[in-house]
Amino acid sequence: MSEILFLEPVFKDVIWGGNALRTRFDYAIPSETTGECWAVSGHKNGDCKIRGGQYDGWTLGQLWQEHRELFGGQAGDQFPLLVKIIDARDDLSIQVHPDDVYAGAHENGSLGKTECWYILDCEPGATIIVGHNASSSEELKKMIEEDRWKELLRERPIHKGDFFQIEPGTVHAIKGGTLILETQQSSDVTYRLYDYGRLQNGKPRQLHLSQSMDVIVCPAKEAATERSVEETESYRLEKLVECKYYAVEHLVLHGSMKRPKQPLYEILDVLDGKGTINGTEIQKGDHFLLLHGYGEYELCGELELMLSRP
Ligand code: ZN
């Protein structure tokens, strides 16, 4: 299979969204509060359409169901990864995700959610929340009941290029003024712990306190941020994370480079610039898969890319 599988993003209107997906990536977003671009997804809540080629008009989820050989025969009843670009004009709710075991038992066999964030851009002074300061579940419960959010939550400053791996059970929130590329397990299960008392259509959004208490890890672990860099005259490749579910790398290229064949398949997201992959033109805002057996390839141009694989 030597085809490149280009995908059409799916957009989500949310109360905390903005318009950076248009101003920055030129996407035709549906509203001025578009918070999420599901760039690579086979999830039922936003299954990306394939653009061009032999499977034009199919969805990624369909292709996964009917042509598993194109994904190297990987097991599982759904395409396992989901890549999003998130434009948080306003703060996202304080939330936590379950692991596979809890989600499987309590959420209709859904996958859990391990996710990671690469900060594409942020306003000066922007922060995020990762982790909490309670030493035990009892203390966590007490602090929540007493509304001691400032004391409870670990808020830290962020900068462009920062990276965070968010394990299930980690309390977290993306805060306003932040543009993020998120790579995650294909899951839409979020337990909302606190929403700053905000209203949507006149009502507060639903909270999930008991599920949150079930899954929050106490005490919190430090978020892993180890990364390694490979640098030459023409490129800078940063290995951001390798975990049970995915490996993610960030690449800045000026010129050309060869890339190795992957054992299963690979996802590429063009964050900036333009160039070619084995002669096919690619540009900012493109998201595509190199299917099983694609082989070695050559990237050329002035490009910033995110590369991920199972
Ligand atoms: Zn999350």
Positions marked catalytic: 192
Rg, the chain, Cα only: 19
Size (the chain), residues: 310
More confident residue, 227 or 97: 97
Stretch 105-121: mean pLDDT:
92
pLDDT at 302 (0 to 100): 98
Q: pLDDT value at position 1?
A: 53
Residues whose CB falls within 8 Å of the CB of residue 269, separated by 6 or more in sequence, listed in order: 39, 40, 83, 181, 286, 287, 305, 306, 307, 308
CA of 112 to the centre of ligand 1 (A): 11
**Sign for the pseudo-dihedral over CA of 171, 176, 182, 187:** positive
Ligand 1 centroid to Cα of residue 214, in Å, is 16
- On the 0-12 / 13-18 / 19+ scale of CB atoms within 10 A, 217 is middle
pLDDT score of 280: 95
Predicted TM-score (pTM) of the model is 0.93
How many A from CA of 54 to the centre of ligand 1?
A: 35
- Cα 13 to ligand 1 centre (Å): 16
